[in-house]
Amino acid sequence: GVYFNVSDTSIFKDKRTMVMDRGDKSIELVWT
Q: How is the chain split into domains, by residue range?
A: 1-32
pLDDT of residue 15: 56
pLDDT at 13 over 50: yes
pLDDT at 10 over 60: yes
d(CA 22, CA 14): 23
d(CA 14, CA 16): 7
> What is the average pLDDT across 14-25?
53
d(CA 23, CA 20): 9
**SS3 for 10?**
helix
Please, which residues have CB within 8 angstroms of residue 1's CB and are 6 or more apart in sequence?
Answer: 18, 28, 29, 30, 31
Percent of the chain whose predicted confidence (pLDDT) is above 70: 0
- Give the pTM: 0.16
Across the chain, mean pLDDT equals 57
